[in-house]
Structure 1
Amino acid sequence: MEIKIMDAIKNYLALVYGEKFNQDHLQQLTAMLDRARGEMTSPRKKGWDESDVVLITYADQFRAQGESRLATFTRFFNHYLRSTFSHVHLLPFYPWSSDDGFSVIDYHRVDPLNGDWDDVARLGQNARLMFDFVCNHMSAKSEWFKNYLHQQPGFEDFFIAMDPATDLHAVTRPRALPLLTPFTLASGEVKHLWTTFSDDQIDLNFASPRVLLAMVEVLLHYLKEGAQYVRLDAVGFMWKTPGTSCIHLEKTHLLVKLFRAVADYVAPGTVIITETNVPHKDNISYLGNGHDEAQMVYQFPLPPLVLHAIHTRNARTLCDWANTLGASRGETTWFNFLASHDGIGLNPLRGILPEAEILSLVEALQAEGARVNWKNNPDGSRSPYEINVTYMDALSTRACDDATRLARFLLAHAILLTFPGVPAVYIQSILGSRNDEEGVERLGYNRAINRQKYTEAEISQALNETGNLRHETWRQLSHLIHIRRSHAAFHPDSLFNAELINERVFVITRRASNGEVITALFNLGDTTQSFSFAGAERHDLISDVVINDAEITLAPWQTMWLSKA
């Protein structure tokens, strides 16, 4: 097996670099891989099952006086969340200069505020870990970039210099910011460098074998430090060819396959997850042939489609889309989520919903306090690409009472937990957070609305006081997750079917290989729904009630998970 994987690695290198990746480079790479494989001490879980549920969080989410943020988080996690989540996705916890961690200064260090690698290891004693591999770009404050500016030997081609007269109109732009940024070298020469996301996030030049070797070394370090899931951030932009869109290019896919092969060789069982906030067909292309590229892709259409369904009280679009997902591909599955540190992406809706309906959703959310980020289009126009809002506030109006707000929120998360794939829940969601308007004003960017940080004391007090929105969200969402984790029908690969009773009542059937069947009923409306539902006596796993009647009644926003009594 190891020989086959090494052959695949050599093949990908040849396809990407040709003779540029010479024998010296190959010897360096081989030595790195063999050394890293020898340092791996514990086996990893192969594949996934119904018990896998991921918590997405910042390492510095909670603070307590006199200790590292990771020490505080680990104590909080062990007390309140350990029995609920199998995995913790730590958003970038390295030294950084902007974008809340995604402008990495040093890939190999833990930000001293967060602690050190021993703190990471202590968290890993009670949860499997997921790290971010910020592979497309790094901070303008990094040593690598300083070495480039100072024209140090070995760094001449680490970043992408481009003549500003080059025709780059076809390049896909995720932000309404300049693509090229001028920087002055030590010699006084001005270079215009590729900056896809901001002038503090300098794109790495993967056309250089030296850059590839340096980034493989980063990946190997993360595997050694316990990363069992690895998220490839902004991976679609990794390879640049002027005259093209510079997104999803063939060599980008080859690099993802190379990273997958490296992980398979060094730490079998590692899961590579690609983060590509793009239309569905482009997103799933990163699953490759089902065996050679990412094992998971982010299910980006799910958050806005669930939001659209609850806003319109109509599940038809969500149901029709769900049935296009198809059966499991064996070695791949979905990484499902509703909320994350970023906003709710709109690009994945394009091709699923008419633009007029997308804009209507945006306007409705803006009217209730959500913020919107825009992107520039090649024709000079601009389009909304992201809504910034907590998922709690995205689902309801300001006028809603907390009971309605929570009911809609739990309905959305019951849908998340029922879908095929591995579900992930953002820390602000399990904490029942509302929009952080003060954070937006203080920090000056829209995404701060869903990135509030807390003292351990204040959040513990809220969770321990019964009756408030935070406590009830934590208690009831944890209850749903515990049920999901104990039933084989929710295995990511279990058979899946979606249908409508009517436009407001959405039904998902999950069927496990052991024969267990769970039928999930969702009322996406604000009125009670009653309907005949054939079948034997059923047990609602959520309410723990046995239903004998052939007629089912769902309260507004109610979910039932029905199994045979």
Structure 2
Amino acid sequence: MNGNINTLLREVYAGRFTDTHYEKLTACIEKYRPLITQNRKQKWDESDVVLIIYADQFHHEKAKPLAVFNDFYYKWFKSVFSHVHLLPFYPWSSDDGFSVMDYHRVAPESGEWSDIAELNKQARLMFDFVCNHMSAKSEWFNNYLQQKPGFENFFLAMDPSTDLSAVTRPRALPLLTPFTLHDGSQRHLWTTFSDDQIDLNYNEPDVLLAMIEVLLHYLAQGADYVRLDAVGFMWKTPGTSCIHLQKTHQLIKLFRAITDEVAPGTAIITETNVPHKDNISYLGNGRDEAHMVYQFSLPPLVLHAVHRQDVTALCQWAQGLALPGRDTTWFNFLASHDGIGLNPLRGILPEEEILHLVEQLRQEGALVNWKNNPDGTRSPYEVNVTYMDALSARDSTDDERLARFLLAHAILLSFPGVPAIYIQSIMGSRNDYDGVERLGYNRAINRQKYHQDDIESQLQASGSLRHRVYHALSRMIVLRRQSSVFHPDSAFTINSLTPQVMQITRTTKNGETLEALFNISNAEQKIKVHSTGFDLISECPVPHAELTLRPWQVMWIKKQ
């Protein structure tokens, strides 16, 4: 075991990580080491594009959902995406998978590990490591309630009179939840997200050992990318904000060090839906923490630009993007299984502009989730809407919807980093209000599930919005994957030529250059270009002349 792992363990636990703990950790690593494939891609490139999907996304009477998805992926996605991010596919009790009951099993209603292995033959895989909390209906938590030996401190009990007013709250729900133990005593346990999601107590070395085994198991099952869910909350110290604490960063460095030891080439990706400065802190020094961080500010800033028809704020933010080294990059996305986070806008846009954007979206049918503030007020923290409907008004034509949608995704695909596309986006989905009514929570608006025959029929219906979105976005993704100028490490500059026209330039080490132009407005825009080239999207030459960009038009001009 390398010295960096030992150093981190001493920093986190001091003398409480005993020789017995070291022996258990070493045995666990050596158990999984021969099970982990070593032929991993050692770094990212322009061909890496991720599809985000639920394991039970597609249904059919002929098979369980994972087997159905394997078939659907082969038909529709194999030539488009390199990676599949399977949202938590383990047995779960709530939150569409993020209340995990058993980290080591596949939910039997979705399939088996053999289905995951079959998918791995077609695509590289990204797993969720739900490392902050687990289900109140899990065996681990039942063992805690039954006061079984070894589980006494697996979860964090707290005297309810403790002053926890400084704790950052991501939800408008109680932080502590009372539970009754086997002997009749009551304990108030830390529940950051809900009373069905009990926070793990990383102050206990046995908890760390159990979760390291989960991580190693996922690597053995083929995970090339590992997403650390809600990772910023892992370590708690009353009297502090209990988010982004030093020991949380040290735990992530520990996960990174172990992963580098047994599975070099694996990417650790942190999910922290927080202001940009805090988010990028998880890249560490560029070599010791996350390989990628979610680019949470991008989705709401693109929406802000489209709604205002003004790229100024988006460009000013992006001009300040900087990575600590070439061993890190951005994980870029516009839509995900969650809503569009607003905290990542704070510190970038004035609060009144954020509230104005939220109200615009709400008037067009979006739903809003709120959080409580320490001063007793509340603020919107998330907008729930499909990205398709977030970009356009309800009375827009399908032509207008498609144009704005493709422009937004061209921005995503032009940014440095690895792009990820949510299943509802590539399917051209609209808001699922029936799902919200049936399931009773706002996020269901963007979590529609499909019967394979029905969705294939819709995708094949020439002229339908789904058909047009799937084919146009797939083509754009393939163009991106085939052009080395989109390598995540290629040089990136971004400028606003006018408030309505944005220019992104990507340049490789060899001097190959692409100039991307975006008209983020509903009016024609005339601009001048200063070199000849070829537009990859229209497949037309671009002369040395003035250009007229149609409303919402994008050009990817390969310089000649």
TM-score after normalising by structure 2: 0.99
- Which amino acid is 2:229 matched to? D
2:200 to 200, 204, 211: 204
Distance 1:200 1:403 in 2: 43
Residue 328 (structure 1) shift: 6.7
Q: Name the counterpart of 1:305.
A: 301
1:73 to 69, 72, 79: 69
SS in 2 for 1:461: helix
SS in 2 for 1:129: strand
Q: In the alignment, does 2:254 pair up with 1:258? A: yes
Q: Name the counterpart of 1:545.
A: 540
Distance 1:161 1:287 in 2: 31
| Contact 2:337 2:422 (8 Å CA) reproduced | yes
Q: Name the counterpart of 2:121.
A: 125
Q: In the alignment, does 2:472 pair up with 1:489? A: no
1:444-463 alignment to 2 at 5 Å? 444-463=440-459
Distance 2:139 2:240 in 1: 31
| Contact 1:327 1:496 (8 Å CA) reproduced | no
SS in 1 for 2:238: coil
Residue 532 (structure 1) shift: 1.5
Residue 442 (structure 1) shift: 0.7
Q: In the alignment, does 2:406 pair up with 1:410? A: yes
Distance 1:270 1:213 in 2: 20
Distance 2:20 2:89 in 1: 33
Distance 1:309 1:51 in 2: 27
SS in 1 for 2:70: helix
Structure 1 stretch displaced more, 135-144 or 460-469: 460-469
SS in 1 for 2:538: coil
Distance 1:125 1:514 in 2: 33
Distance 1:307 1:128 in 2: 30
Q: Name the counterpart of 1:17.
A: 13
| Contact 2:47 2:481 (8 Å CA) reproduced | yes
Residues 439-494 of structure 1: CA deviation (Å, up to 9, x unaligned):
00110000000000010001111111111000000000001101100111100010
Q: In the alignment, does 2:156 pair up with 1:143? A: no
Residues 179-205 of structure 1: CA deviation (Å, up to 9, x unaligned):
000000010000000000000000000
Residue 326 (structure 1) shift: 2.6
Q: In the alignment, does 2:277 pair up with 1:281? A: yes
Q: Name the counterpart of 2:310.
A: 314
| Contact 2:36 2:222 (8 Å CA) reproduced | no
Q: Name the counterpart of 2:235.
A: 239
| Contact 1:138 1:204 (8 Å CA) reproduced | yes
SS in 2 for 1:423: strand
Residues 325-346 of structure 1: CA deviation (Å, up to 9, x unaligned):
0367210000000000000000
Q: In the alignment, does 2:353 pair up with 1:357? A: yes
Q: Name the counterpart of 1:82.
A: 78
Distance 2:16 2:376 in 1: 38
| Contact 1:68 1:115 (8 Å CA) reproduced | yes
SS in 2 for 1:202: strand
Q: Name the counterpart of 1:464.
A: 460
1:99-248 alignment to 2 at 5 Å? 99-248=95-244
Residue 283 (structure 1) shift: 0.3
- Which amino acid is 1:539 matched to? F
Distance 1:477 1:454 in 2: 20
2:508 to 483, 490, 512: 512
Residue 273 (structure 1) shift: 0.1
Distance 1:39 1:442 in 2: 42
Distance 1:182 1:198 in 2: 12
Distance 2:324 2:558 in 1: 22
| Contact 2:38 2:263 (8 Å CA) reproduced | no
SS in 2 for 1:497: strand
- Which amino acid is 1:300 matched to? F
Q: Name the counterpart of 1:380.
A: 376
SS in 1 for 2:380: strand
Residues 76-110 of structure 1: CA deviation (Å, up to 9, x unaligned):
01100110000000000000000000000000000
- Which amino acid is 1:429 matched to? S
Distance 1:496 1:528 in 2: 26
Residues 520-556 of structure 1: CA deviation (Å, up to 9, x unaligned):
0000000000122211x22100010112241011100
SS in 2 for 1:561: strand
| Contact 1:151 1:186 (8 Å CA) reproduced | yes
Q: Name the counterpart of 1:529.
A: 525
Residues 240-291 of structure 1: CA deviation (Å, up to 9, x unaligned):
0000000000000000000001111111111000000000110000000000
Distance 2:323 2:555 in 1: 24
Distance 1:119 1:126 in 2: 11
Distance 1:496 1:564 in 2: 15
Residue 320 (structure 1) shift: 0.6
Distance 2:80 2:124 in 1: 13
Residues 406-449 of structure 1: CA deviation (Å, up to 9, x unaligned):
00000000000000000000000000000000000110000000
| Contact 2:285 2:324 (8 Å CA) reproduced | no
Distance 2:559 2:191 in 1: 56
TM-score after normalising by structure 1: 0.98
Deviation beyond 4 Å, 4+ runs, structure 1: none
Residue 66 (structure 1) shift: 3.2
Q: Name the counterpart of 1:440.
A: 436
Q: Name the counterpart of 1:556.
A: 551
Residue 35 (structure 1) shift: 2.0
| Contact 1:319 1:500 (8 Å CA) reproduced | yes
Distance 2:509 2:308 in 1: 35
Q: Which runs of no fewer than 5 residues in structure 2 stay unpaired?
A: none
How many aligned positions are there?
560
- Which amino acid is 2:418 matched to? V
| Contact 1:8 1:261 (8 Å CA) reproduced | yes
SS in 1 for 2:148: coil
| Contact 1:528 1:556 (8 Å CA) reproduced | yes
SS in 1 for 2:15: helix
Q: Name the counterpart of 2:265.
A: 269
Q: Name the counterpart of 1:295.
A: 291
